[in-house]
Amino acid sequence: MELFDAVIDGLSIISSWPDRESSSGAYQLLCAIKQPEFILATHLLAKVFSISLPLSKLLQMQNIDLIEAMSLADNVSDVLKNIRNNADEDFKKLFLKVKEKCMSLDIEITLPRLTNIQKNRFNVKTPCPNEYYKISLFIPFLDNFISQLHDRFIAQKSLITNFCCLLPNNNLPNREENIKSLAEKYSEDLQCSSDSVIGEVPIDMDTKICWNRKTKKCIRTSYSM
Q: Treating both helix axes as pointing N-terminal to C-terminal, what angle do 66-85 and 157-164 enclose, rounded to 10 degrees? A: 160
Q: What is the pLDDT of residue 220?
A: 45
Is the pLDDT confidence value at 179 over 70? yes
Between CA 118 and CA 125 the distance in angstroms is 11
Residue 155 is classified by DSSP as G
Between these two residues, 210 and 37, which has the higher pLDDT value?
Answer: 37
Confidence of residue 169 (pLDDT cuts 50, 70, 90): low
Tell me the pLDDT tens digit for each residue of 50-99: 999 999 999 998 888 888 888 899 999 999 999 999 999 999 999 999 99
In whole angstroms, how large is the CA radius of gyration of the chain?
Answer: 27
Between these two residues, 198 and 183, which has the higher pLDDT value?
Answer: 183
CA torsion angle 24 29 35 38 (round to 10): 170
- Please state, rounded to an integer, the average pLDDT across all residues of the chain: 81
Between these two residues, 210 and 165, which has the higher pLDDT value?
Answer: 165
Is the pLDDT confidence value at 15 over 70? yes
Is residue 131 within 8 Å of 124, Cβ to Cβ? yes
Tell me the pLDDT tens digit for each residue of 122-152: 667 778 889 989 998 999 999 999 999 999 8
Confidence of residue 44 (pLDDT cuts 50, 70, 90): very high
Single-letter residue type at 58: L
